[in-house]
């Protein structure tokens, strides 16, 4: 929790286990999976996605509780409330559509439970993904081993979750995207009076770890001066009929 003066503190962690522990501690979890989940999500938000979510694949390799079926149901309910559709992104990037459908099977089950059918599952290609499908106004779910599982377990444990990248996307530098990630996390933390966990989706991925180290240093430089207001772009707020305690996600 924030201290008595309202100051926000942050910690740095790695892997889905770190995401789960941060969620149990009541923190906002900022998931950084540079190649490619969080970069895909950043590009989706910049291309007009209304909401972005992450989910674990089948099978899940991490020893943490996950609920990709619940993520699928929630995505379907959010899309219905928005009057929109769901877009699924999964791995392997260069594998067959059948492989991606198998890995997304639990999310698909959740979607089917609410009457939603998905014809195509797009590969998780980072910034390039939005060239394959129009995500404007839609709910995008990324199913991946690292970023998706970290998002899933933190969400399952009740944390506000967002994503961030320091990679380039179309029209944005990596520096720009780092600032957007910090803005999202600080806004959620300030609005909900929580602290922050900067999470490298994989402790074995140098790019994730180095990105989190940069974000941590940048937050210290900023001194949290921007925490009072929302980011300077559209808010991906959820419709009123969806539960507020799961409105994690996203200020684009």
pLDDT tens, 41-54?
A: 999 999 999 999 99
Domains belonging to the chain, first-starting first, are 10-251 (3.90.1560)
pLDDT for 58-104, tens place per residue?
999 999 999 999 999 999 999 999 999 999 999 999 989 999 999 99
> Taking 90 as the threshold, does the pLDDT of residue 223 lie above it?
no
Contact 194, 188 (CB under 8 A): yes
Please tell me the pTM assigned to this model.
0.89
pLDDT for 140-191, tens place per residue?
999 999 999 999 999 999 999 999 999 999 999 999 999 999 999 999 999 9
| Mean pLDDT along residues 106-126 | 96
How far apart CA 135 and CA 137 sit, in angstroms, is 6
C-alpha neighbours within 13 Å on the C-beta side of residue 235: 10
């Amino acid at each position: 929790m924030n201290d008595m003066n309202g100051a926000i503190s942050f910690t740095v962690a790695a892997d889905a286990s770190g995401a789960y522990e941060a969620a149990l501690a009541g923190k906002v979890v900022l998931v950084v999976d540079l190649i490619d989940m969080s970069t895909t999500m950043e590009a989706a938000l910049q291309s007009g996605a209304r909401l972005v979510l992450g989910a674990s694949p089948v099978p899940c390799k991490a020893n943490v509780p996950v609920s990709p079926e619940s993520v699928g149901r929630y995505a379907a309910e959010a899309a219905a409330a928005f009057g929109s559709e769901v877009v699924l992104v999964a791995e392997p990037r260069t594998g067959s559509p059948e492989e991606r459908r198998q890995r997304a099977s639990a999310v698909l089950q959740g979607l089917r439970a609410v009457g939603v059918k998905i014809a195509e599952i797009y590969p998780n290609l980072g910034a390039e993904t939005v060239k394959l499908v129009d995500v404007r106004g839609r709910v995008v779910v990324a199913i991946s081993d690292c970023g998706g599982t970290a998002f899933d377990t933190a969400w399952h444990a009740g944390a506000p979750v967002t994503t961030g990248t320091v990679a380039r996307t179309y029209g944005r530098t990596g520096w720009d995207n780092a600032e957007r990630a910090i803005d999202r996390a600080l806004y959620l933390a300030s609005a909900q009076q929580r602290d922050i966990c900067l999470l490298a989706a994989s402790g074995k991925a140098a790019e994730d770890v180095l990105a989190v180290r940069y974000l941590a240093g940048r937050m210290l430089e900023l001194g949290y001066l921007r925490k009072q207001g929302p980011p300077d772009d559209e808010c991906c707020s959820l419709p009123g009929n969806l539960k507020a305690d799961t409105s994690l996600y996203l200020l684009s």
